[in-house]
A and B are shown apart, each in its own frame.
Chain A
Amino acid sequence: MFTGFLQHLWQRLFKPKEELVSFTEVFEHFQELLQDQQKVMEIIADLGEKSGGDYIFDRKYLTDTVNELHARMLHLVKDLNLISFNRYPDLYSALDRIFLPLEGEMRGRLSLSEEMPLVVSLEKTPRDHPELVGGKAAALGEIIQRLHLPVPPGFVITTRAHRRFLEHNHLEERIHALLSAWLSGQADRAQTSRQIQYSILAGVIPQEVAREIRREAQARPFWAVRSSAFGEDGELSFAGLHESILQVPAAGVLEAVKRVWASLYSPEALTYRRQVGLLGEEAAMAVLCQEVIASRASGVVHSLNLEAPESDALVVYAYPGLGRMVMEGRASLDRFVVERRQPFHLKVKDIALKESYRRVAPGGGEEEVLVSPEERERPALADEDIQTLAGWSRILERYFKRPQETEWALDEKGRIWILQSRRLTSPQSLEAPDICDSCSTYPVLIKDQGAVAHAGVGAGPVFVVSSDQDLERFPEGAVLVTRYTAPWLAPVVPKAVAIVAERGSPAGHLATISREFRVPTLVGVENAVALLPAGEDITVDTHNRLIYQGRVAELLRYELIQSTAFEDALEFRLLRRLLKRIAPLNLTEPQDQNFTPEGCRSVHDVIRFVHEKAVQELMDLPRFLKRFKEARVCTLVSEVPIGLKIWDLGGGVDPEARGTQITVAQIRSLPLQALWEGVTLPGVWSTEPVAVDFKGMMSSLTRTLGNGFGAPDYRGINLAVVTETYLNLHLKLGYHYNLIDVRMEADPNRNHIYFRFVGGVTDLTRRSRRARLLADILSKYHFKVDIKGDLVLARILHLPQEEMRRRLIALGQLVGFTRQLDMQLKSDEDVGHFLEAFVQRLEPAGDSPSPQGGKDGTEQVKNSHPGR
């Protein structure tokens, strides 16, 4: 109580003097703020686009971009505080919280930071941090989190934990000294290895690490404890060099972890690391603990038949019992050669003669058992399991972009598990075909069309998706061809080998999702649905923006056997890690508890917060009016009765106009003229009451009640701040809240339309449906659209005046059209119908809403500003 009173007193005494800042000044800051915000959104979109692999960028680009973002964000926060009389000083610490780790990422020191876990479960391994969890665990993490294939549960003791262990026991100096002695010839290899390994085994695992390991380990009785080393670019193979300990009881995990760490210094490992020049490097190893599968059969799949790489076949190897026999190469295995394409036709079936196999012994541990004579020639794997493995092998190869060697196990209940998957290395280097000539023999269906959202090559049958029902029938391994780029396509993206969309931009939603799942994607390919034959094979090559008829086998093979996939390059991983702290939007509802500076977790969140608050400041009209008494505010007299207040900052209204009311004809502001033209087109503004069904009505009631307190009340205030070439419009129609900010000058480079739409009666599902519809319509007009829940953010930049005008008329129509639309969107299919209705009703016949790419300037303008 008392502190509350003091605080109150303090605030009263030191309340900033609002009168000191004139409105014109406030408005200038607001405009600057909008510009910075737009620029930041462009940078974010740009970074996203760069992560798709079509661009060549370097580290310097990343450093420059992060620096620019930081500068812009500081400016933005400063402007908000100027507008709001310093109400949000906490935003500066929010920026620190976001940018310090970003800069840490740039310096490459983040894996050591407190933020990173010591021990983490496989389902939660952070993406793009192989240096933290090692290559093996990183791949398994992606298989679980992205591909949703079955992997036995497990956890990782990270490299950070390893470093902590070395520090705790002062081992780094000791190991360094022992290694130096070996290198200078003062000690032999065996002796060096023994001494280092002994020191490690005698070390004590620090409490905080041990505690976390024990907590995870008690979940199951036995564990397989393996190394998960990380070689830069995944190009170094430590396969078999480090220890793997199977059947470790939960209580023995700590000791086993030390043994795996010690195996970094086995005599063989020492020689190998010396040969590849890694001895001087800091050796940090993650350790993976996984549940042991008591397998009925086990084996590996090679996604490419190394004996005949051009044969378009994969090979499944299998043997009964535990995997040790397979891994150690002690037995000859069943070998199934399968076609790489669905339905994975079995081409060769070599069944090995089995004499004995290993299984889990009744009391723990393993035992070797003889195979009964009648079982000797029985295949270790049923045909349907071979099919399953073949399918998975292709999914893994498609995601990791390189041929895969995948270890699997079949448990007693008949379930198959993936134990690990790594790049398949060929004993002899595979010959890259000369593809210039061979590709030219395939007919080209589409050439030089669209933009690259994610780079790569993919081939499969064309499947056109135009409705929700199509989504359910979408087959694994098809090429997704679609008119739309709407987020509802997301569920099929992971199944697609490639995507071709008629609309959209590399900064849009579909593009973001396709990058997440690494699916080669072209967007903005005109007439793709008509040009690509449904059901027939095509090959999509984004590198040359070519779509071939048929499967270009040479090209597919060429892609597979190249060195590193760009997705795995250091710079791309770094970019994705940066994006994770920049792009996600977590704050949506201003009413939410966490809609605070403390709640901001990304750059995008700060943008959202600043924008909301800036608009709020500006929308507080009573305070506004008090501040700026000489403001010329008048009311628009129009057939559309919303009582729009117009605030002219100069040149926006006919100077002859007198009194407090003006007519439409007296508007001089170009953007307001255009917008109003759309609003007042015949049939746009329905004056009839809109039918509301019961569910919608109830929901509207609760929302109204819930909104009664706390939320600022804008009801009835519709305000346009204008100049001749500028419009900032706030419309509160029913429960929808529109913000439209436009600059429309002779120089296209200065122009923008920014549109924001949120709120509305009825439940969230319907509001989201409406958001989707809006997004679809806006995309047709080449807006860049972001939707999150029921919030729609759209923007378009750098268009010439006439193009701006066209879009503003459309926006005016849209504002009228969607006034109470959410009431009518009862099912997801309605979205499609309304989209058609909008386009048909509001577009004069023959005038396509999206003229050929580039004609209206959008793509061209973008291209003329490479990067920034």
Chain B
Amino acid sequence: MAQSKLKILILDDEPIVCKRLKPSLEKQGFEVDTFTRSFEALQAVQNTKYDIIITDLKMEGMDGMRFLQEAKKIHPDSEVIVITGFATMETAKESFKKGVFDFIAKPFNLSEIQRVVMRVEAKIRGTQG
């Protein structure tokens, strides 16, 4: 593994989601930062380029849909994965329209998200190399 680690940002207002996802993705070989507030996450996006963004949709303050739009404005090639408990076709459609890579309904199991992240990784590495 000579390649540099990809950076992942996780945003979910429920700390348990961040707490569980972070070690699992780190173990897969990613560098992971987690946030429970969207404005803090947005600040981080302004300072750092994250290759992959994993975000919840429904949150206090700025919701996930706005956050991912803002984040995409700053780094258009960041790939976004939406995780949400409010899984309706409408939200799924809308997020795909916003250029989201994939959409996962909560609760999901670890291998589900691992698979999606691996697909994103393949896409990113593919376009780079």
**Chain A window 429-441, contacts with chain B (Cβ cutoff 8 Å), 1 for yes, 0 for no:** 0000001110000
Q: What are 10 pairs between A and B in contact, CB < 8 Å?
A: A54-B110, A55-B109, A56-B16, A56-B21, A56-B113, A563-B19, A564-B19, A571-B16, A867-B106, A867-B107
**Is there contact, CB below 8 Å, between B16 and A61?**
no
The 9 residue pairs across chains A and B that have the minimum distance between CB atoms: A57-B107, A58-B14, A436-B29, A55-B107, A571-B16, A54-B109, A867-B107, A55-B109, A60-B85
Cα separation A566 to B110 with both chains bound (whole Å): 13
**Is there contact, CB below 8 Å, between A55 and B108?**
yes
Cα separation A394 to B58 with both chains bound (whole Å): 43
Cα separation A56 to B12 with both chains bound (whole Å): 12
**Is there contact, CB below 8 Å, between B85 and A56?**
no
Q: Does B97 contact A (CB under 8 A)?
A: no
**Is there contact, CB below 8 Å, between A59 and B14?**
yes
**Chain A window 829-868, contacts with chain B (Cβ cutoff 8 Å), 1 for yes, 0 for no:** 0000000000000000000000000000000000000110
Contact of A56 among B1, B28, B110 (CB under 8 A): B110
Which residues of chain A (415-435) have a CB below 8 Å from chain B? 435
Q: Does B73 contact A (CB under 8 A)?
A: no
**Is there contact, CB below 8 Å, between B107 and A61?**
yes
State how many angstroms separate the Cβ of A438 from the closest Cβ of chain B: 11
**Chain A window 143-167, contacts with chain B (Cβ cutoff 8 Å), 1 for yes, 0 for no:** 0000000000000000000000000
User: How many residue pairs, one in A and one in B, have C-beta atoms under 8 Å apart?
Assistant: 74
- Report B-chain residues with C-beta under 8 Å of the C-beta of A60: 14, 85, 106
Q: Does A817 contact B (CB under 8 A)?
A: no
**Is there contact, CB below 8 Å, between A56 and B105?**
no
Which residues of chain B (90-129) have a CB below 8 Å from chain A? 104-114
Q: Does A452 contact B (CB under 8 A)?
A: yes
Q: Does A64 contact B (CB under 8 A)?
A: yes
- Report B-chain residues with C-beta under 8 Å of the C-beta of A58: 12, 14, 16-17, 85, 106-107
Cα separation A50 to B114 with both chains bound (whole Å): 17
State how many angstroms separate the Cβ of A864 from the closest Cβ of chain B: 11
- Report A-chain residues with C-beta under 8 Å of the C-beta of B110: 54-56, 452, 455, 543
- Report A-chain residues with C-beta under 8 Å of the C-beta of B113: 56
State how many angstroms separate the Cβ of B29 from the closest Cβ of chain A: 4
Contact of B108 among A56, A435, A436, A543 (CB under 8 A): A56
Q: Does B24 contact A (CB under 8 A)?
A: yes
Which residues of chain A (160-178) have a CB below 8 Å from chain B? none
- Report A-chain residues with C-beta under 8 Å of the C-beta of B27: 435-436, 543, 558
Given A56-B17, A545-B111, residue A866 in contact with residue B105 (CB < 8 A): yes
State how many angstroms separate the Cβ of B4 from the closest Cβ of chain A: 13
Contact of A436 among B24, B28, B109 (CB under 8 A): B28
Q: Contact residue range for chain A?
A: 20 to 34
The CB with the most chain B CB atoms within 10 A, among A50, A545, A569, A867, is that of A867
- Nearest residue in A to B26 (C-beta to C-beta)? A432
**Is there contact, CB below 8 Å, between B109 and A61?**
no
State how many angstroms separate the Cβ of B15 from the closest Cβ of chain A: 9
Contact of B85 among A61, A435, A562, A563 (CB under 8 A): A61
Cα separation A60 to B85 with both chains bound (whole Å): 7
Q: Does A570 contact B (CB under 8 A)?
A: yes
- Report B-chain residues with C-beta under 8 Å of the C-beta of A57: 16, 106-107
- Nearest residue in A to B30 (C-beta to C-beta)? A436
**Is there contact, CB below 8 Å, between B28 and A64?**
no
**Chain B window 3-36, contacts with chain A (Cβ cutoff 8 Å), 1 for yes, 0 for no:** 0000000001010110111011001110000000
- Nearest residue in B to A54 (C-beta to C-beta)? B109
- List 17 additional contacts besides A56-B110, A58-B12, A58-B17; criterion CB under 8 Å: A50-B107, A54-B109, A56-B21, A56-B107, A57-B16, A57-B107, A58-B14, A58-B16, A58-B106, A64-B85, A437-B1, A543-B24, A544-B111, A558-B27, A563-B19, A867-B105, A867-B106
Contact of B19 among A54, A558, A569 (CB under 8 A): A569
- Nearest residue in B to A570 (C-beta to C-beta)? B16
- Report A-chain residues with C-beta under 8 Å of the C-beta of B17: 56, 58
**Chain A window 546-578, contacts with chain B (Cβ cutoff 8 Å), 1 for yes, 0 for no:** 000000000000100011101001110000000
The CB with the most chain A CB atoms within 10 A, among B16, B83, B108, B112, is that of B16
State how many angstroms separate the Cβ of A440 from the closest Cβ of chain B: 9
- Report B-chain residues with C-beta under 8 Å of the C-beta of A566: 20
Cα separation A452 to B110 with both chains bound (whole Å): 10
**Is there contact, CB below 8 Å, between A866 and B112?**
yes
- Nearest residue in B to A436 (C-beta to C-beta)? B29
- Report B-chain residues with C-beta under 8 Å of the C-beta of A544: 111, 114
- Report B-chain residues with C-beta under 8 Å of the C-beta of A558: 27
- Report B-chain residues with C-beta under 8 Å of the C-beta of A435: 27
- Report A-chain residues with C-beta under 8 Å of the C-beta of B105: 866-867
Which residues of chain B (52-69) have a CB below 8 Å from chain A? none
- Report B-chain residues with C-beta under 8 Å of the C-beta of A437: 1
**Is there contact, CB below 8 Å, between A866 and B20?**
no
Given A58-B106, A60-B85, A866-B105, residue A436 in contact with residue B1 (CB < 8 A): yes
The CB with the most chain B CB atoms within 10 A, among A56, A563, A866, is that of A56
Cα separation A59 to B13 with both chains bound (whole Å): 11
- Report A-chain residues with C-beta under 8 Å of the C-beta of B12: 58
- Nearest residue in B to A60 (C-beta to C-beta)? B85
Cα separation A563 to B29 with both chains bound (whole Å): 18
- Nearest residue in A to B18 (C-beta to C-beta)? A56
- Report B-chain residues with C-beta under 8 Å of the C-beta of A55: 107-110
- Report A-chain residues with C-beta under 8 Å of the C-beta of B14: 58-60
**Is there contact, CB below 8 Å, between A56 and B23?**
no
- Report A-chain residues with C-beta under 8 Å of the C-beta of B24: 543
- Report A-chain residues with C-beta under 8 Å of the C-beta of B83: 56
- Report B-chain residues with C-beta under 8 Å of the C-beta of A50: 107
Cα separation A93 to B110 with both chains bound (whole Å): 40
Cα separation A61 to B113 with both chains bound (whole Å): 17
Given A435-B27, A437-B1, A562-B23, residue A569 in contact with residue B16 (CB < 8 A): yes
State how many angstroms separate the Cβ of B41 from the closest Cβ of chain A: 17
Cα separation A57 to B85 with both chains bound (whole Å): 9
- Report A-chain residues with C-beta under 8 Å of the C-beta of B109: 54-56, 452, 866
Cα separation A455 to B109 with both chains bound (whole Å): 11
The CB with the most chain B CB atoms within 10 A, among A60, A452, A562, A570, is that of A60
- Nearest residue in B to A61 (C-beta to C-beta)? B107
- Report A-chain residues with C-beta under 8 Å of the C-beta of B112: 866
State how many angstroms separate the Cβ of B63 from the closest Cβ of chain A: 14
